[in-house]
Amino acid sequence: GFLPFVVAAVQPTDEPVLADTDGDGVDEPMIFRPATGRLIRIGGATEPIGAAGDVAVWGDRDGDGRDEVGVFRPSTGEWRFPGESPVAFGQQGDVPLLVDVDGDLRDDRVLYRPDAGVWFIGIDGWWPVAFGQPGDVPVTVDTDGDLRADLGVFRPATGEYLAFGAGVVAIGQAGDLPVPRSSGAAPVPAAAPSGVTAQPGDSAAVVSWTPPAANGGSPVIGYRVKAQPGGATADVPAGATATTLAGLTNGVQYDITVEARTVAGLGAASAPAARVVPALSATVPGAPTGVTALPSNQSATVLWTPPSAVGGGPISG
């Protein structure tokens, strides 16, 4: 079935946004209001992400499994995301898209210029691709399962879909609108990592693991290491099998687990490592240096330099 998403006083120019901003593998329905440049979330909370007249764009630009929501500003041809400097790429009338065209699991800036039928790909600068004609609607979808978004257009005048480098497919009739959807089986979350170990340190633990045996149909793009109680986490890039989890409290017992992240979100949590208790190091201090003795009447004054290595804590005597 369908769950309704209700926002009070929706305006005719509002734009729907479906973005996974928390990395749980589930797209969240939101609304961008071009009249005010604000993003409206479920429950009515709003946040400024642009200005009047902007167009909402969203995607996972850094491969961490979380979508970022920003805007394209047609008046200046700039891409803007909260907390970042604007990037000039495009012009008035361009259609902005954030899609992964090179299969690196990071969404790229892409523009379609409807009046010229030209695409512009923003990778290592930008390069144009002439494909389409005036009036076409841009459609980017992975049609062959290679984890790359294919450039395509839907031609409302004929009801045809045209993919770059492929043929023409009749999928509708004149006046229809496209509804893109990935073909093939959708990826599922990865299995749990295995062999998790944790070595205690000072307010931290060094955690290592073995990657999951099954990735659910899409490559692992990172890991999340989590400790309980407290919920301290560390997000680790793909390829790593060890990290230092900081933010722990000395003397507290922790269960530490690891989850693999793919385009389908976080997978199953591993079995916890053997419980660890962070603590100060128990090593002894090093030896003082520069020891000298100054004789006096029936006594001596002894001078020295403190050791450079103090062991597990400050020297108390």
pLDDT digits (tens, 9 = 90+) for 204-228: 999 999 999 887 766 677 889 999 9
d(C-alpha 278, C-alpha 301), whole Å? 41
Name, in order, each residue with C-beta under 8 angstroms of 165's C-beta and a sequence gap of 6 or more: 150
Q: Looking at the domain assignment, is residue 95 inside a domain?
A: yes
State whether 161 and 216 are in the same domain.
Answer: no
Q: Looking at the domain assignment, is residue 181 inside a domain?
A: no
| Residues 111 and 95: beta-carbon distance below 8 Å | yes
State whether 117 and 244 are in the same domain.
Answer: no
DSSP-derived letter for residue 101 is S
Q: What are phi and psi of 206, to 5 degrees?
A: -90, 115
Can you tell me the mean pLDDT for 5-11? 62
How many helices (DSSP H) and strands (DSSP E) are in the chain? Answer: 0, 25
Total-model pTM: 0.54
State whether 29 and 137 are in the same domain.
Answer: yes
State whether 59 and 150 are in the same domain.
Answer: yes
What are the distances in angstroms from CA 165 to CA 105, 178, 297?
22, 19, 99
State whether 220 and 248 are in the same domain.
Answer: yes
State whether 295 and 238 are in the same domain.
Answer: no
d(C-alpha 66, C-alpha 60), whole Å? 6
Show the domain range for 32: 15-170
State whether 26 and 163 are in the same domain.
Answer: yes
Name, in order, each residue with C-beta under 8 angstroms of 200's C-beta and a sequence gap of 6 or more: 276, 277, 278, 279
Q: Looking at the domain assignment, is residue 272 inside a domain?
A: no
d(C-alpha 69, C-alpha 52), whole Å? 16
State whether 298 and 262 are in the same domain.
Answer: no
User: Looking at 114, 138, 170, which one is the last position of a domain?
Assistant: 170
State whether 124 and 255 are in the same domain.
Answer: no
Among 32-46, 79-93, 122-136, 263-277, the minimum mean pLDDT is found in 122-136
DSSP-derived secondary structure for 50-93: S-TT-EEEEE-SSSSS--EEEEEETTTTEEE-TTS--EE---TT
d(C-alpha 267, C-alpha 273), whole Å? 17
Q: Per mean pLDDT, which of 19-28, 89-98, 161-170, 225-234 is the most reliable?
A: 225-234
Q: Looking at the domain assignment, is residue 317 inside a domain?
A: no
State whether 229 and 297 are in the same domain.
Answer: no
Q: The CATH number of the domain where 221 resides is what?
A: 2.60.40.10
State whether 87 and 21 are in the same domain.
Answer: yes
Q: Looking at the domain assignment, is residue 110 inside a domain?
A: yes
Can you tell me the mean pLDDT for 227-249? 91
d(C-alpha 280, C-alpha 204), whole Å? 10
Taking residue 306's Cβ as centre, other Cβ atoms within 10 Å add up to 12
Place of tokens 């001596």: 300
Name, in order, each residue with C-beta under 8 angstroms of 167's C-beta and a sequence gap of 6 or more: none
Strand partners, 235: 224
Q: Per mean pLDDT, which of 180-189, 263-272, 280-289 is the most reliable?
A: 263-272
Number of structural domains found in the chain? 3
**Does the pLDDT of residue 185 top 50, yes or no?**
no
Structure tokens at 209: 């693991």
pLDDT tens for each residue of 46-61? 899 999 889 899 999 9
Q: Looking at the domain assignment, is residue 184 inside a domain?
A: no
Q: Looking at the domain assignment, is residue 164 inside a domain?
A: yes
Average pLDDT score, the chain: 81
State whether 25 and 150 are in the same domain.
Answer: yes
Q: Looking at the domain assignment, is residue 49 inside a domain?
A: yes
